Amino acid sequence: MSLSKGIAKGVFDLKADRFLGTQYSAAERDASDPRHMSLAADTSVFTGVRVHSSAHLEEAVVLPGVEIAPSTRLSNVIVNRGVRIPQGLVVGKDPDLEAKHFRRTESGICLINQPMIDWLD
């Protein structure tokens, strides 16, 4: 199964490096090739997720209905269903700051839900 130019339907399981099924916005890049996606290894993006092509995800689990805006950097996160991640949000770089805004496990994984994002505004 190949990605269509601009938007693809499916999910990327990047650990397995295969197309499973969601939506990706091409923005300024050609999204017809999975190598142009900014998703990193060990990331699972479920059905109904919109990921802007300039977003970077590393060791992330993104549940259905999530929208990830441009210039977002998410590492070691679990994003709950239906969350709208704002442009430029960086999670996974500053443990002390993240512990104030998000639920953080002892192993450093941040859990993100919509009320946590709303509280940032």
Instruction: Tell me which fold the domain 11-120 belongs to.
Output: UDP N-Acetylglucosamine Acyltransferase; domain 1 (2.160.10)
Q: Is the separation of the CB atoms in 120 and 98 below 8 Å?
A: no
Q: How confident is the model at residue 2 (pLDDT cuts 50, 70, 90)?
A: very low
- List pLDDT tens digits, range 30-83: 344 455 455 666 888 888 888 887 889 999 999 999 999 988 999 999 999 999
Adjacent-strand bridge partners of 39: 57
CA 111, CA 116: separation in Å to the nearest integer? 9
- Residue 51 pairs in a beta bridge with 24, 68
Question: What span, in angstroms and rounded, lies between the C-alpha atoms of 104 and 121?
Answer: 20
Give the residue-averaged pLDDT of 3-23: 40
Task: Confirm if 47 and 53 have CB atoms less than 8 A apart.
Answer: no
The answer to whether residues 64 and 46 touch, using CB atoms and an 8 Å cutoff, is yes
Domain positions in the chain:
11-120
Q: What is the DSSP string of 18-32?
A: EEEE-EEE-TTS-TT
Q: Which helix (H) or strand (E) holds 75?
A: strand 73-79
CA distance 3 to 116: 33
DSSP class of residue 8 equals: -
- Quick: pLDDT tens for 83-119: 999 999 999 999 998 988 999 999 999 999 999 999 9
Q: Give pLDDT tens digits for 15-25.
A: 433 444 444 44
